[in-house]
Amino acid sequence: MMQPYQPPIEDYRFLLGEVLNFDEAMGELGIEVDATLAEAVLEEAGRYCAERLQPINREGDEHGCSLKDGEVITPPGFAQAWHGFTEAGWTSLSAHPEFGGQGLPFILQLWLDEMLSATNMSFGLFAGLTRGAAEAIAAHARDDLKATYLPHLTSGAWTGAMALTESGAGTDLALLKTKAEPLSEDRFAVTGTKIFISSGDHDFGGNVVHLVLARLPDAPAGVKGISLFLVPKFLPDTSGGHTLRNTLSVGALEKKMGIHAQPTCVMNYDGAIGWLVGEPNRGLAAMFTMMNAERLMVGIQGLGQAGGAYSQAAAYARERLQGRSADGKRSCVPIIEHGDVRRMLLEVRSFVEGGRALAGWTALHLDRAQRHADAAERARSDALVALLTPVIKAGFTDLGFEGAVQAQQVFGGHGYIREWGMEQFVRDARIAQIYEGTNGVQAIDLVGRKLGMDDGKVVADFFARIDTDLAAAAGDVGEVAAAVGQALALLRDATAALKDADAEEASGAAVDYLRLFALVAMGWMWARMAAVPGDTPQHTAKRAVAQFYVRRILPQAEGLAAKLSAGSASLFLLPAEAF
Amino acid sequence: MKIMVPVKRVLDYNVKPRVKADGSGVDLANAKMSLNPFDEIAVEEAVRLKEQGIASEVLVVSVGQAKAQDVLRTALAMGADRAILVQCDTEVEPLAIAKILQVIADDEAPGLILLGKQAIDDDSNQVGQMLAALLGRPQGTFASKLVVEGDHVLVTREVDGGLETLRLSLPAIVTTDLRLNEPRYASLPGIMKAKSKPLATKTPADYGVDVTPRLTTLKVSEPAVRGAGIRVADVAGLVVKLRELGVA
């Protein structure tokens, strides 16, 4: 049987109060939220996830979504859970107060996303896409569109979806064909078919607001000819309501490996009415506002899935009796006594807690990027978030999937059957490595775009911050800091080597480079966590897991560095036809 | 009508208690604490009465450490209007709590005092009854339904073999049972509003109450571990064994 979800409130409290200096950070930004309030918010959100969302997760998986008369039917309990979630105000958490949001910092948003992903990833996507759509509209749409759509998206009465992918245009959006014909100065008729549209429709009631990428009649070819349109399921009527059915429809539901409770739609737009968001032909830039928010959220999905799976595996390992003790004297010991089981659990835990800290640090910079009084500080934080976004998206979802598999492995055969819920973690976690830009594309974004930002000064700034913290470490923490320092040196060498690499070389190196980057960044967080003085069980545990991380995880840095220095030549020895 | 709801911060019901190594009590260091579930039901009922227009104000009170603020904030987030924390770092026994609440009730003159029937940590089940006696007011304990009718309150109690309904004249003291209601989730706007609702901090001395313990805890220990079972050969063997154990 699955264990009830225990929200990681103690870890959040530790990070807010003792690692990330939350109160000070909020004070600097003039945000009137302290760690006590933050904890109260996280605790109540966690309670909802544990008591209302986890219990419908497995049934959601088994039941899945269906299509009836062209409308999506979500699994039992989902509509009710959505209404409870929105009535409690959780969709408004980080939204702008002007449109009914609570304006709380992103660190709380990302950790709420973690708890959502740990308990019910399919459900969490409804909230994530709604927030992403609202952020894109807030950043780029005209005031009248903001006034019409943002209050409803903020309250969760309406939901959002993003429609990019077409059958012939996935990673390469330059190939997309959906058209938008002007009807009047600001209204357009959007025609085309999109695939893989998460939350494309549902039975929660209210409007579904699609942000659709399409081409205007005179648009230039390629990505410079793509515009963004707001296409709602229901259009405004004459009495101020939204009751007129727009000509968009769900063609089919995709049958897929996991997140079965999430309606992944094929969407047909048949001259559907839409409004332009942002400038003509600048749609991709506008959509990136949504995508960057989504990419961080997807990274957090990996974290949440691994964390949820870890808790199940740790509880199981403490109770499952199999095998003899190491000295052979006792039979039927809890499997947590076996070294290999501990290895699996610690590999997952050291990622989850290191990743949680790094996500928190990045989220604080997201707030600085938007709210700091000094423009230079805003720019600096914005660049750091841009640098870390692909690291979190790809690094956390790769490690999240690996973590789900390790946690499943702890259960032996019981992990493979449905009852314990572990195989669902594995199937659900898998998508996060693929959507919102595959992890390979994220790695190329890091190597090809982000390393070169501001002529390499951004990544240098990031490394310098790690140097500062490592230099301050002493005593027992010295060993942790020294190991992270050595891995950082390897990362610096690899960064320098990639600076002049050609596209072929960079593409071959990118994924290994990103993994190395992620390992060092989390090692830095472990050094910071291990440096916190104190002798509570929590402090002692942090130091113990930090030791494991630097001794058993970080040595991977050497292997990765060796792979990187070998270059890409061996990838191209085989001619294409020999594959 | 003002409603007063005394609440307690207790070890969370999901947490397995660990006894301190020296047997002096339960180890609460770093353990998750929360609002006593029966008190949460009392807060919910009070807030519902306010939403129905029957109550004008909901006052929550806690006696305990500074951290008891957290559970008062929880109650404020659910919809209570203001809070009083009577700060006291030592353990306070039910009689002293009842005496403190008596003084506060004299000051505040609530029409109804709603309490959880007991706290899930020590299971004393005494404060409501003691408070009623000290105030000389009627009491309805273990309420599973509560209806205010003018200057009376109807309290339905689950008793052996059925339901018993009492009619009490207000002001009265009512303690809540599990089935009275299902407490709401605090909303995010509720949590945000709670931080600016008034929370007064007092001490037992402010109310002239001596909280020196009258009881001595001799020992706190874990329940005995269940022993291994034995196999009996047949029914006759089972009967013999049961007789030996004195259960048949």
Mean pLDDT of A248-275: 97
Strands A159-163 and B33-35: unpaired
CA distance A458 to chain B (A): 36
A33–chain B nearest CA distance, Å: 9
Question: Does residue A436 have an active-site annotation?
Answer: yes
For chain A, the average pLDDT equals 95
Residue that has been written with the tokens 């996830």 in this structure:
A49
| Least-confidence region, from A205-214, A521-530, A532-541, B57-66 | A532-541
Chosen for mutation from A32, A39, A43 (greatest number of chain B CBs closer than 10 Å) is A43
- pLDDT attached to residue A164: 93
Find the closest chain B residue to A538 by CA distance.
B30
| Model pLDDT for residues A214-232, shown as the tens digit of each residue | 999 999 998 899 999 999 9
Residue B62 pLDDT greater than 90, yes or no: yes
Q: How far apart are CA A284 and CA A126, in angstroms?
A: 22
Q: Is the peptide bond before A232 cis (omega within 30 degrees of 0)?
A: no
Catalytic residue among A135, A423, A436, A505, which? A436
Residue B248 has pLDDT above 80, yes or no: no
Please report the pLDDT score of residue A186 as a whole number: 86
Burial class (CB in 10 A: 0-12, 13-18, 19+), B162: exposed
- The secondary element (H helix, E strand) that includes residue B77 is helix B69-78
A92 and B188: CB-CB below 8 Å? yes
pLDDT class of A423 with cuts at 50, 70, 90: very high
All residues of chain B having their beta carbon less than 8 Å from the beta carbon of residue A41 are 188, 191
CB contact under 8 A, A10 and B32: yes
Q: Residue A24: which pLDDT band, with cuts at 50, 70 and 90?
A: very high
Give the residue-averaged pLDDT of A362-387: 96
In order of their start, the domains of chain B are: 2-245 (3.40.50.620)
* pLDDT classification of A489: cutoffs 50, 70, 90: very high
Distance, CA of A249 to CA of A401 (rounded, Å):
33
> Is A17 in the B-facing interface, judged by CB distances under 8 Å?
no
Chain A interface mutation, best of B13, B184, B191, B195, highest count of A Cβ atoms under 10 Å = B191
What is the predicted pLDDT for the residue at A300?
98
Among candidates B14, B30, B190 on the partner chain, residue whose Cβ is nearest the Cβ of A538:
B30
CB-based contact, A37 to chain B, within 8 Å: yes
Instruction: List Cβ neighbours of A505 (8 Å cut-off, separation of 6 or more).
Output: A498, A567, A568
Share of chain B above pLDDT 70, in %: 100
Token readout for A172 is 């390469």
Chain A residues touching B186 at Cβ < 8 A: 44, 88
As a whole number of angstroms, the distance between CA A150 and CA B67 comes to: 38
Q: How close A357 gets to chain B, by Cα (Å)?
A: 20
CB-based contact, A14 to chain B, within 8 Å:
no
Report the chain A residue with the minimal C-alpha distance to residue B192.
A37
Chain B contact present for A86, CB below 8 A:
no
B1-11 pLDDT, tens per residue?
999 999 999 99
Whether residue B195 and residue A37 make contact (CB cut-off 8 A), yes or no, is yes
Residues A394-420 pLDDT 10s:
999 999 999 999 999 999 999 999 999
The residue-averaged pLDDT of B64-88 equals 96
Please report the pLDDT score of residue B21 as a whole number: 87
The tokens of A491 are what?
């990362």
Q: Is A102 on the interface with B (CB under 8 A)?
A: yes
In sequence order, the 6+-apart residues with CB closer than 8 A to the CB of A359 are A110, A111, A114, A296, A299, A300, A303, A392, A396
Q: Is the per-residue pLDDT at B200 higher than 80?
A: yes
Q: pLDDT of B107-124, one tens digit each?
A: 999 999 999 999 999 999
Q: Which of A192, A287, A296 lies closest to A230 in space, CA to CA?
A: A287
B186 and A89 within 8 Å at the Cβ level: the answer is no
**Residue of A5, A44, A82 best to disrupt the B interface, most CBs of B under 10 A:** A44
Q: Can you spell out the DSSP letters for A147-215? A: HHHHHHHHHTSSEEEEE--BTTBSS-GGG---EEEESSSSEEEEEEEEEEEETS--SSSS-EEEEEEEB
Instruction: State whether residue B81 is helix, strand or coil.
Output: coil
Hey, are the CB atoms on B186 and A6 less than 8 Å from each other?
no
A476 has pLDDT over 70: no
pLDDT at A401: 98
pLDDT value, residue A571? 93
For the segment B117-143, the average pLDDT, to the nearest whole number, is 96
CB-nearest partner of B189 from A6, A47, A102: A102
Q: What's the mean per-residue pLDDT of chain B?
A: 94
- pTM of the predicted structure, to 2 decimals: 0.91
* Residue B188 in this model has a pLDDT that exceeds 90: yes
CA distance A16 to A23: 8
| Interchain pair A89, B74: CB under 8 A | no
Look at residue B57 and give its three-state secondary structure.
Answer: strand
